[in-house]
Structure 1
Amino acid sequence: MVVLDRAGFIAALDISVTQARGAGDHLGLLLIDLSNLRLINHRHGYGIGDLLLAEAGRQLLATSKLPDTVFRIGGHTFAFILPQLNTPAFIALAMNRVQRLLDGALYIDEEILPVQLRIGLAVNLHGKHSSLVTLARAEASLAQVKQGNALEIDAMIGEDDDAREDTAFEQHFSEALYDNAFDLHFQPKVDLRTGRVCSAEALLRWHLPGHGAVSPERVVQLAEASGQTYELTRWVVNRALRAMREWRDTVALPVAVNIPAGLVNSPDLANMLSGALSIWGVEPSMLTLEVTEGAVIEDKEAGFNNLLHLRELGMGLSIDDFGTGYSSLSYFEHIPATEIKIDQSFVRRILGDSRDRALVGIIVDIAHLFDFAVVAEGVEDNQTLEYLRDLGCDIVQGYLYSRPLPEGELLAWLRQCDGRPGIAAN
């Protein structure tokens, strides 16, 4: 069976790209995903799933016949490096061949769910692009396919201005992560019951020379496309905890960090967080993890178990963007959260839409029934604040009190208001 070896794959891809660049060859990369393997495991048992993974690996190795070209890089994802492509279009033939081969080899019988194969691809012409950029393009291609979009292979083989710009951004992102060129700003959260700042949310910032500010959403996309979500999250967590350690003689302020959806089910997440807390000497109760509602709903069983473990370690858990997913009352009953964060789209419409106002009130009441605190983000005016107070909201954050601030400005702001921020007259 092809063992899980992402590090070995990256090393092999680096070598293949270097060789392609030196010889002027083209390089192809296929990402083959057994997308419904988790459902097969749940329905038929892990023995069947392991059998399918082993057979997929055997078939790909037999097809390649070359060393260091087939790797398992995720729970149900394989990478297939195609070196020395004389014609870039050959990657389409390779993809079709792999699809037909695995469709046949992975069929067991009519009682077993058929495997749903999803294949993404990338072409690196003359080895011009780095291994990370090549991987990023293949992952973006796979994401397209998973969303039901058709692959535009001809566009992948050619190069246009948008592709060149994407490549440049991907390279800049990898360099920024390596060079520690990001920054964190912190937005205060105010407890409506006491009027005091009770915590802050850490928000990623990146200023790219020659371009300006890059949106956090774009940074997350680049991390996902390049397979560096874990590394970026680790940087954010450690940077936030380092700041908290530096502040503790001045202020003991709990901080929330955002955890990307793709890491919620990761078995490595708990070890990374525990290690960072130990390094910086911060109590777990001082750290809250914000995860989106959709990230938990995507795989309730695995997501709930992982979050439950993090709660047992003492960290807080906040369900971000609440109200935008498809949760039910059973979701409230079982989720191991400490707070619910109402999506700012509801907060911004609360003055003009009675249905949104009623919906927020229902969320607050149910959340309190299950002992969750309720946070409203995006609060920008006094009237919205008073509506939220009347509805029973516990905590608010937004420009009414403060924009996200660099560390030094946050500490100065806290000293100036003595933890009780005033609000502007509207």
Structure 2
Amino acid sequence: MRIRTKLMIAVALNILIFVGVIFFVVRPYFIEQSMERDRLAVDSQIASVTETLANRKSSLERTLVDWAAWNDAYAFVQGKNEAFVDSNISEASLDNLNVNAMLFLNRDGDVHYATFQKQGLSLTEPEHQAFLTDIASRVRADANTRSTIYESEYGPVFYATHPILQSDRSGPVEGTLVMLEFVSSHFVADLSAQTKLPLAVGLTEATDTMITSRDGLTHVVIPLDTVYDKTDYGITFVVEPTHYANTVSMLRLGMVALVFLGTGLFLSLLWTFHRVVIRRLMEIGGELKQITVERDSRLRLSIDAGSRDEIEQMAASMNEVLAALEDTRAEVLDKAYRDALTQLPNRLAVEDYFAAVRKTYRHIGVIGLDLDDFRRINDQFGHRTGDAALIYIASRLNFYKEEGFVARIGADEFIFLHPNWTLEELRPVARRLMKDLADWADVNGVTGLTTTIGLDVFASHHPHHTYEILMGRLDVVLHEAKLSGKNRVLSFQEIEDGSHYLQTLEMERDLRRALEEDEFELYYQPIVSPHPFAVRGVEALIRWNHPVKGQVSPGLFIPIAEQLGLISDIGRWVLRQAVREMREHVTRHELFLSINVSKRQIADGSFLGELERILHDQTFNPSNLHVEITESEVGGNLYELQQFISSLKAIGVKISLDDFGVGTSSLSFLQSLQLDLIKIDQNFVKGITENTFDRALLEGLYQTFHTLGLDIVTEGVERPEQLAFVLEHSSSLIQGYHYSKPVPLSQLENYLKKVVML
């Protein structure tokens, strides 16, 4: 079918659909809206009438209280203030009070004194007395009624009562003050003027507001007992549905106009689209097809120099896109593999470099550099100084790398790789790096800036020596170097040949015993929602209470457990213990429990089966469990990770990505993972008060993750200014020492109880 025919059909269908939408959707919608507006108008008028009545009643009651709680009136009904009437009551005072009569009843309920407005009244003295007696008897008969409208011989009467007390409203009660007003035509006219409605007052049997439609009008009856204590009267008025009538008239004219406009639009669009759009688009489509076949970004679309319309601008923009494709591709790859601050390659690039050179060289010389107490440097000298130190180290590593490779693999960690270098070649470079850093620190006045360096000669040709083992060995030697005093150079070979290696073997033995003897303990760190403050979840963190060494840091034994293959056993223990300890707390306090899972647990396939068994045995709701995957695992086998996440989702468990921003993941990876929550690493938060780059980056991450519909937890919030920034730019949950450090179960229970009592 030709495009012109398709266009004719499309335009006709669109016009028909448009008219159909107008008739079947828009028209009913506007009619319904107009009816709703009429209904709202009626409701508004009902509210106006009710409010006017309530205000009139309230005004009278306030006046009544002012007169009833008054020492002069109190003495008057006791017969001790004979001058009270002459001093305070006159026909003018009744007119000012907007009442027709005032009655002072004594303690027995008899009339002590009464006064009427003479104007508008034609009652004789006996009629006055009969009326007063009737009012007094009604007040005595129903002492609980404070205000009411009742039918008297002279028409409906509204009265309100209040006990006569002293000015401080103390007793005993010496009588009752009654103020009344005839519900006359003047009364109704006054209400009508205030509400701008033609009101009428009459007897009614309705107990609730009645709204009925008759003859195209809306009739409303409001029983007055909704305002006054007891009455059989009601207010009635009529409302004309003006919105509905106007809307129907407008829609009829609109539909006639649409028929004529639609026909003209159909013919006009056909000619315009063909002349201006279709012909040129067909030309551009042919040229794009040719470029696609050639797969050559150097090809360009032809441009009509005599035309400057949007289609030609689109063609020119496509040419610009084609020209920028190669540059964009290179830039994207560069950003994915490069650290933004130092411009060195990142951890992901290290893994690629290792994969490339291990097939060619038998061994690789490795230098790992880790700044000592770098957080103190940032806190003492500022993040600008800290960033300057990192940039300087990067420049010196580039200076010494020769044919090797350098990268920034952590916040204050760097790696130097050189194929076929030996320890004898690595040590001089390590010593020069330490001296360079010391000289820079002296020149810039940064006292205490030192570094720990680990060396290794890694047999890359060995089939079991993977990238993970390389990084694991480097972590071990850096940990050993820091434990033995920092600011020193230590090689992995020295650990193997001396007591440090024996300590590692001892660590393995102690870890196995710790699992058997139940030496581990779980601490829990709350994850809170600041406004309103509430604990939303807790993260389970393992602690090792060694019988001799005391509490051993997870930063020491977890990497060794990873290296020795014990992390799966430890992970299973954490899972069982956390679910058992937190089962009741999760339900009682509506929390989620977050646990960490390692790459080895994912790889060996044992985690899922154990998880299902524990959840079933402990009757733990899977939706209350978050499994945290560290960001470094995203750069591994993506397909394997996707399968693992899908299995967890099938169970009902939620997925969190931990330590976002320090590993190798990118937003393109995140799109392929079914994540529920992102935990932004504390390194982003540390520098936000001083570092403009960190603030801009963190603000952009918040915006991106909120757009993707992901929940966020910001880690490492310790200071009020950090919390203020996070609250200003996100609705992130908070995890950090500002609210609580990781605490044992007993302290967590006290913490949660305090939160409930807030």
Post-superposition offset of 1:156 = 8.0
Paired residue secondary structure (1:184): strand
Confirm or deny: 8 A CA contact 2:714 2:735 kept in the other structure: yes
Displacement of 1:173 after TM fit?
1.1
* Aligned twin of 2:504: 166
| Alignment CA distance shift 1:398-1:329 (3 Å) | closer
CA shift in 2, pair 1:385/1:156, >3 Å: closer
The 1:154–1:347 alpha-carbon spacing in structure 2 relative to 1, beyond 3 Å, is closer
Separation in 2, partners of 1:230, 1:298 = 18
**Equivalences for residues 68-83 of structure 1 within 5 A:** none
TM-score, normalised on structure 1? Answer: 0.62
- How far did residue 261 of structure 1 move? 2.5
Q: Deviations over 1:52-79 (max 9, x none)?
A: xxxxxxxxxxxxxxxxxxxxxxxxxxxx
* Cα deviation, residue 333, structure 1: 1.8
- Counterparts of 1:320 and 1:382, CA distance in 2: 23
Which residue number corresponds to residue 390 of structure 1? 728
Is the 1:376–1:393 contact (alpha carbons within 8 Å) kept by the matching residues of 2? no
How far 1:312 moved relative to its partner?
A: 2.3
Task: In structure 2, give the amino acid aligned to 1:310.
Answer: L
> Hey, what's the Cα distance between the residues in 2 that align with 1:192 and 1:379?
12
Cα contact 1:342–1:376 (8 A) shared by 2: yes
Conserved in 2, the CA contact under 8 Å of 1:333 and 1:370? Answer: no
Whole-Å separation in 1 of the counterparts to 2:659 and 2:471: 26
Whether 2:758 is the aligned partner of 1:413: answer: no
Q: Give the secondary structure class of the aligned counterpart of 1:318.
A: strand
User: In the alignment, what sits opposite 2:530?
Assistant: 192
Q: 2:683 maps to which residue?
A: 345
- Which residue in the other structure is 2:694 paired with? 356
Q: Which residue of 1 aligns with 2:589?
A: 251
- Counting only pairs closer than 5 Å after superposition, residues 246-285 of structure 1 correspond to structure 2 as 246-247=584-585, 250-285=588-623
The letter of the residue matching 1:341 is: K
Greater shift in the superposed pair: 279-288 or 255-264: 255-264
Residue 248 of structure 1 deviates from its aligned partner by 5.4
Structure 1 unmatched ranges of 5 or more: 1-34, 40-114, 121-138, 421-426
Match of 1:302 among 640, 647, 668: 640
| Equivalent of 2:558 in 192, 208, 220 | 220
Q: Distance in 1 between matches of 2:539 and 2:671?
A: 26
Provide the C-alpha distance between the structure 1 equivalents of 2:537 and 2:634, rounded to a whole number of angstroms: 24
Cα shift at 1:193: 4.2
> Taking structure 1 as reference, are residues 333 and 188 closer, same or farther at Cα in structure 2, changes over 3 Å only?
same
Give the counterpart letter for 1:118 in structure 2: P
Q: Which runs of 5+ in 2 are unaligned?
A: 1-350, 356-459, 477-490
Secondary structure of the residue aligned to 1:418 is helix
Tell me what 2:627 maps to: 289
Distance 1:281 1:367 in 2: 33
Cα 1:419–1:291, aligned 2, differ >3 Å: closer, same or farther?
A: farther
Q: Distance in 1 between matches of 2:647 and 2:545?
A: 35
What letter is aligned with 2:646?
L
TM-superposed deviation, 1:267: 2.7
8 Å CA contact 2:586, 2:592 repeated in 1: no
User: Aligned in 2, Cα 1:302/1:166: closer, same or farther, shift over 3 Å?
Assistant: same
Report the 3-state secondary structure (helix = DSSP H, G, I; strand = E; otherwise coil) of the residue aligned with 1:118: coil
Contact 2:634 2:669 in 1 (8 A): no
Say yes or no: does 1:231 pair with 2:569.
yes
Q: Is the 8 A contact 1:199 1:254 kept in 2?
A: yes
Q: Is the 8 A contact 2:596 2:629 kept in 1?
A: yes
Provide closer, same or farther for how the CA distance between residues 196 and 229 of structure 1 changes in structure 2, counting only shifts above 3 A. same
Matched, 1:118 2:463: yes
**Superposition deviation, residue 385 in structure 1:** 0.4
Q: How far apart are residue 253 of structure 1 and its match?
A: 2.4
CA distance in 1: counterparts of 2:669 and 2:651, whole angstroms: 21
SS at 1:310's partner residue? helix
Task: For residue 153 of structure 1, report the CA deviation from its aligned partner.
Answer: 10
Alignment CA distance shift 1:241-1:157 (3 Å):
closer
Residue 116 of structure 1: CA displacement?
6.8
Structure with max Cα Rg: 2
Query: Does the Cα contact within 8 Å between 1:244 and 1:282 map onto a contact in 2?
Result: no
CA distance in 2, matches of 1:373, 1:367: 7
Greater displacement, 248-257 / 315-324: 248-257
Question: Could you give the per-residue CA deviations for residues 173-227 of structure 1, whole angstroms, max 9, x where no partner exists?
Answer: 1100111110001111111343211001111011212212211122212322332
Task: Please say if 1:369 is aligned against 2:707.
Answer: yes
Give the Cα–Cα distance (whole angstroms) in 2 for the partners of residues 217 and 180 of structure 1.
19
Shift of 1:415: 0.8
* Greater CA drift, 380-389 or 161-170: 161-170
How far the C-alpha of 1:141 sits from its partner, in A, is: 8.0
TM-fit CA distance, 1:140: 6.1
- Contact 1:196–1:419 under 8 Å retained in 2: no
Which one-letter code corresponds to 2:658 in the other structure?
D
Name the amino acid aligned to 1:297.
Answer: G
Whichever residue aligns with residue 188 of structure 1, its letter is P
Measure, in 2, the Cα distance between the counterparts of 1:419 and 1:309: 39
Q: How many residues align?
A: 287
Give the Cα–Cα distance (whole angstroms) in 1 for the partners of residues 723 and 471 of structure 2: 43
Residue in 2 that maps onto 1:379:
717
Please, which of 572, 575, 579 is the counterpart of residue 241 of structure 1? 579
Residue pair 1:197, 1:419 contacting (<8 A) in 2 also: no
Residue 258 of structure 1 deviates from its aligned partner by: 0.9
CA distance in 2, matches of 1:186, 1:309: 26
Structure 1 contact 258–290 (Cα < 8 Å) conserved: yes
Which is bigger in relative contact order (C-alpha 8 A, separation at least 6)? 1
Deviation at 1:144, TM superposition (A): 4.4
What amino acid does structure 1 have at the position aligned with 2:520?
F
State the one-letter code of the partner of 1:317: I
Counterpart of 1:376 in 2: which secondary structure? strand
Shift of 1:319: 0.5
Equivalent-residue separation in structure 2 for 1:381 and 1:263 (angstroms): 35
Pairwise CA distance, 1:233:
0.3
C-alpha distance 184-419 of structure 1, shift in aligned 2 (>3 A): farther
The one of 180, 183, 207 aligned to 2:518: 180
Kindly, what percent of the aligned residue pairs are identical?
29
Partner of 1:105: none
Query: Hey, which bits of structure 1, 4+ residues long, moved more than 4 A?
Result: 139-145, 152-158
CA RMSD of aligned residues (A): 3.0
